[in-house]
Amino acid sequence: MAEVVGLRCANPTYDGMLRTTCCFLTKREMGTLQAIIFDVDGTLAETERNGHLVACNEAFARMGFDIRWSWEEFKELLKIPGNARRMRLALSTRTSLSETELDRIVPELFALKKELYLKRVDALPLLPGVARIIHEAIDRGIRLAIVSVTHEDQILALLRAQIPEALDAFDPIFGQQSGKKDSALYARCAARLGYDASEILVIEDSERGFKAANGAGLPCVVVYNEYTRGQDFTGAELVVRSLEHLDLDLLERLCLS
């Protein structure tokens, strides 16, 4: 019979006090934190509302399209992964462009959007607690990685603008060019890191991202936000509104021990 040495939380939340239902955790299931995998949009920084939405609307305007998404519209569109897909949907439903024209225009529109977004990264600060967690991880020799639907150049630009001293610590970085953000991509990232799943902690903000990490057997902290509040995070090690009041030691104790 396996030795019982700790607790795992079935659907915990943390807002300065732990509020949770727990079940027994056996010794062979426990791990020592060796690596953290971050999502980007909504997890490292509030990039959706203040970055991607603004850039999309400016790109539409510059190319002469009378399309301007409100934040409420854009929140609904976040259910569709990738701004190129969202922009194509808008053009296909709100203009008379043919499929051939869309095939030509959407890449040009998205390239412009990306250029405009890259000019905005200086104005996209990291969310509360994120920089502290990253610095604590570096100081402890804990590996850092990223799995995201965002293009790699956008990820690098954000890191370079907001936490340049940590840029080289993130390896690997799996962005949009690495393929669909799913359990297989998380498994690839874990394999590159070279640690057991019980030694890796994922930090995500959405049900889609959490389920991808969970499907790869990776413990996950969910830091929900305005547009992911209320999604299904059943099975997450921890569900929080912010990392502001958490440090790395507390995250390790709550999630891996």
**Domain extent listing, the chain:** 4-46+125-256, 47-122
Does the CA dihedral 222-224-227-229 come out positive or negative? positive
Confidence of residue 27 (pLDDT cuts 50, 70, 90): very low
The residues pairing with 126 across neighbouring beta strands, listed in sequence order, are 45
CB 55 within 8 A of CB 113: yes
CA distance 141 to 148: 23
CB 62 within 8 A of CB 171: no
DSSP letter assigned to residue 126? B
CATH number of 4-46+125-256: 3.40.50.1000
Interval 43-101: pLDDT, tens = 999 999 999 999 999 999 999 999 999 999 999 999 888 899 999 999 999 999 999 99
Pick the CATH number of 47-122 from 3.20.20.140, 1.10.150.240, 1.10.3720.10, 3.40.50.620: 1.10.150.240
Secondary structure (3-state) at 130: helix
Phi (first) and psi of residue 73, to 5 degrees? -65, -45
Length of the chain: 257
| List 41, 171, 182, 247, catalytic entry | 41
DSSP letter assigned to residue 140? T
Tell me if residue 41 is catalytic.
yes
Q: Please, what is the average pLDDT of the chain?
A: 89
Comparing 4-46+125-256 with 47-122, is the CATH topology the same? no
| List 15, 39, 182, 196, catalytic entry | 39
Q: Specify the pLDDT at position 30.
A: 53
Six token digits for residue 183 = 């359990």
Give the position of tokens 């953000």: 181
pLDDT at 17 over 50: no
